[in-house]
Amino acid sequence: MACATALGQGLTEDEDIKVMLKGSLLWKIKSHRGQKERLYRLQEDGMTIWFESRFQRAHSKQIFSIVHIEGVREGYQSEGLRKYGSSFPEKHCFTIVFKGKRKNLDLAAQREEEAQTWVRGLNKLMARVKAMSQREKLDHWIHDILRQADKDKDNKMCFKEIKNMLRMINIDMNDIYAHQLFKECDKSNNDRLEEHEIEEFCTRLMKRPELDDIFYHYSGEDCVLSVEELVEFLQDQGEKTNLAHARRIIQTYELNEKAKQQDLMMLDGFMMYLLSADGNILNQEHTRVYQDMNHPLCHYFISSSHNTYLTDNQIGGPSSTEAYIRALMKGCRCVELDCWEGSNGEPVIYHGHTLTSKILFRDVIESIRDYAFKQSPYPVILSLENHCGLEQQATMARHMKTILGDMLLTETLDGQVPRVLPSPEQLKGKILVKGKKLPDLRGDLENLSFLSDEEEEEEEERDGRRSSHSLQDIKPLQAKDASQVSQELSDMVVYCKAVPFLGLEHALRNPQAHEVSSFNERKARKYIKESGNAFVRYNAQQLSRIYPAGLKMNSSNFNPQEMWNAGCQLVALNFQTPGCEMDLNDGRFLENGCCGYVLKPRFLCNGQSTFQPEAPLQGSSHKSIMLMIKVISAQQLPKLNKEKKNSIVDPFVRVEIHGVPIDCDKKNTLYKINNGFNPCWNEKLTFQLRVPELALVRFVVEDYDNTSSNDFVGQFTLPVNSMKEGYRHIHLLSKDGASLSPATLFVHVKFKWL
């Protein structure tokens, strides 16, 4: 694939792109001493950047793809540059932020204009990638594989190079069949495939027989879809359609101009449609805010983070403002600030009594100010865990007021004591503080107890930490008056007053909309099992926060689904810990435009609800559905062990249902030996869902191993009510949530109401 194909017309002549293709000497900044000048250059594919050391002859093998870039920040807009970039003018500096857990790349150019050139160029390339069709991404992927497989760089490939390429793309093809295909494409009979012959070889590899069958079923003998035939297919897909809609699809996705002029669709155009967003399993209407945002806050699931400041485990991992930025950019709406006494009168944030590093409270508030509303306009809650004395509490309040300004909500919207929580719509662009509040003169004795359940549990955890020999000498600065609350900090708390939980009976008898209690996962689970309906009714009226219990060395998470089943809103997870639990969290908040607020089902918003999360069929009028999923095939699965050339995945698919206990289920397909390129299963998996409104579906691809645990390949999770029926592609994600493009699953989905 030529550079013009990768970049698109216009970008090849762009002055910024020309500079990037030529390359620039940039300083990579890691610490005060760790500053290295390297040559960074955009490769001719327009999609990857490699760099080499200025003082080494051999090129570095380190390459990164434009696809993996989350964003570009100018100036000292990263923790690394704020700490170590002072030897370079701010306008010379910029930061490349990657998707997933990969660390930022902090760079400095020799001239301001050169830095601006790279910032503009990278943004243009990122926009180009975002606009690429699945076919273009596929073409780039094949081009990159061919470039790596062509060892002698002569743009011709012998059979040995072709075999190497097949292994690179996860196919262990029979030698006889591979050689036969090679000879059929070798039109020049010189035992070398030249450019157009290589293209034909790849075209044959890319054939999708399962798509051919669907297309020919609807197109008939002429092998061309008319508008009327496309309408029939779309209706079978469960789409609301008409002739005008079908014509728009043809005009959008058909590749052949003559066919397009006659309102006809060829096989390639049909494939483009099914690989597009319109052919995605995720309902595209749900990728924007489509729910009513005028309900009280307690009627929503709210994306929430625990120990937000950590980028790794909670015992010795680093704390970073970058962790807050990443959480907020994922749509998180409730972040935790673990505040301790710092030196020079400045409070710090870190995991007390551990070896985690410290960051300034002030720096965290600045990061929250800058990124709180970039992903979502709806309110952000700062969950304060306060271990500071009165003086530094006043400093915290002053920083929040000065830095956040009008964003900070410091009084109720109507000036009255809240009887009902305001809505996300009413609180757009506002930051709320969750913390302890001083009682007024009318308060009773119960209000004089400041220590919440959450803090009692945190103290238990710290006792455990202190008992560890390796941590027993760690003594954080904690003031003697830390159990008190300063007036300045108390005044910041409006709608999220942290209070100890005095039992469900008391809470239901005396509902206080603006009060929030916190529960560790064990206590929440106990209430769900023993008083599930009462807990549901409690959560219909006020907010509850659930957080991981105990001392978890690896910052593992609990299953959030069982908490959502009971209507708990602020289910706080360690965002830095990938795994099934975070997949579920990402899937839950995938809908409603990833805004961090998802409206709970109606039966979880009713203070008189009879819903029992552990036994939902008792006294329930829920409509059950049968979910039928046919797992058809997969395409371009990633190679797991790139060091072992002969290592090919043996993939299988597991479909998991996460919902109320009676709905939870998982079923596997058989595994396919040595084929991660185009494995085909055609297996039907059926699930009965009694409460589909709460259910999530997680599609997982794993590499089968009969001697050890299976290796994770990719996954995608989404709510049942956001799934589309019919033939659908699923675009797989990595363990840390980054795209695995062009890897996809192809399935057929059917719902049947019971």
Catalytic (active-site) positions? 306, 351
Does 263 show up as a binding residue in the annotation? no
**Cβ atoms within 10 Å, residue 500:** 17
124 within 8 A of 17, measured Cβ to Cβ = yes
Strands 105-109 and 651-658: unpaired
The whole-angstrom separation of Cα 510 and Cα 134 is 55
Does 585 show up as a binding residue in the annotation? no
Q: Which two tokens stand for residue 645?
A: 């050339």
- Look at the chain and count its residues: 754
Does 662 show up as a binding residue in the annotation? no
Does 515 show up as a binding residue in the annotation? no
Does 135 show up as a binding residue in the annotation? no
What angle (nearest 5°) sits at the alpha carbon of residue 222, between those of residues 220 and 225? Answer: 70
The whole-angstrom separation of Cα 667 and Cα 727 is 20
189 within 8 A of 174, measured Cβ to Cβ = no
How is the chain split among helix, strand and coil, in percent rounded to 5? 35, 25, 40
Does 705 show up as a binding residue in the annotation? yes
Does 674 show up as a binding residue in the annotation? yes
Query: Which H or E element spans position 482?
Result: none
Report the SS3 class of residue 377. Answer: coil
225 within 8 A of 212, measured Cβ to Cβ = no
Phi-psi region of 690 (alpha: psi -120 to 50; beta: other; left: phi over 0): alpha
Does 307 show up as a binding residue in the annotation? yes
DSSP of 682-734? EEEEEEEES-GGG-EEEEEEEE--SSSPPEEEEEEEEEGGGBPPEEEEEEEE-
740 within 8 A of 733, measured Cβ to Cβ = yes
Does 363 show up as a binding residue in the annotation? no
Nearest to 431 by CA among 518, 370, 385, 488: 370
Does 518 show up as a binding residue in the annotation? yes
DSSP class of residue 447?
G
Does 606 show up as a binding residue in the annotation? no
Query: Which H or E element spans position 518?
Result: strand 515-520
Does 703 show up as a binding residue in the annotation? yes
Report the SS3 class of residue 74. Answer: strand
The whole-angstrom separation of Cα 271 and Cα 700 is 23
The whole-angstrom separation of Cα 183 and Cα 721 is 50
Does 704 show up as a binding residue in the annotation? yes
**Cβ atoms within 10 Å, residue 174:** 8
Nearest to 264 by CA among 225, 217, 230, 238: 225
Annotated binding site for Ca(2+): 307, 336, 338, 385, 648, 650, 674, 703-705
Annotated binding site for substrate: 434, 436, 518, 545
Annotated binding site: 307, 336, 338, 385, 434, 436, 518, 545, 648, 650, 674, 703-705
